[in-house]
Amino acid sequence: MSWRSVTLTIGFCAMMVFTSLGATAFAQADFVEPGSDLDLPLPDYLAKAGPDAKLIDAGKLKLDKHRMICGKRPTIIDPSFESWGGAYPGYLILNPKRLKGLPTPVKLFIYAHECGHQFVGRDESAADCFGVKRGRRYGWLNDKGLTQVCEFISKLKGDANHAAGPERCKKIRVCYKEAAPRTSRSSQSSQ
């Protein structure tokens, strides 16, 4: 292989890496308005939230015995957060007081929905779909769990960012059907 071929190959690979990183950065930057309260770096959020907020390292969070992962993003457990969960650039937030008493599939969906914002930006329908597809593929969301998620969501009123609950549920059901559950490795090897 000539030096020119090696240089072109390295240049192409570098271009692909920077292009994919740019798309990820765009998606993350797209879900907050720069300079808003939602644009807080992690240390600033923790300082503002106070001593009751706890930082859970990426991969260490468990919700009802389910280990929850959103890439390398940590989660803040904040009992004073105004909603069930939230997504800020590079981290997620969960309110344990609001999650308490919810069925496990609903808690897991909330986490997966907020994780989805890290990848799809502010689009609430896309984050819903991300959450449902992740649950189906990872095996923690089945038909009964989907019904529980829809019962939870259907009670919610729409706002500037979220469709009304019943409309969200219709879209979620479509996403659920589109996401095939993962097959076990033993069944894959026998196919």
pTM of the model: 0.77
CA distance 191 to 187: 6
pLDDT tens, residue by residue, 23-62: 333 343 444 455 545 678 999 999 999 999 999 999 999 9
Identify the segments of the chain with pLDDT beneath 70: 1-38, 158-161, 163, 183-191
Phi, psi values for residue 72, rounded to 5°: -100, 20
Phi, psi values for residue 24, rounded to 5°: -65, -45
Helices (H), 3-56: 3-29, 42-49
Q: Are 117 and 87 in contact (CB under 8 A)?
A: yes
For residue 163, what pLDDT is reported?
65
The secondary structure of residue 39, as a DSSP letter, is G
Q: Are 152 and 102 in contact (CB under 8 A)?
A: yes
Instruction: Indicate the domain borders of the chain.
Output: 1-30, 37-190
Q: Are 79 and 95 in contact (CB under 8 A)?
A: yes
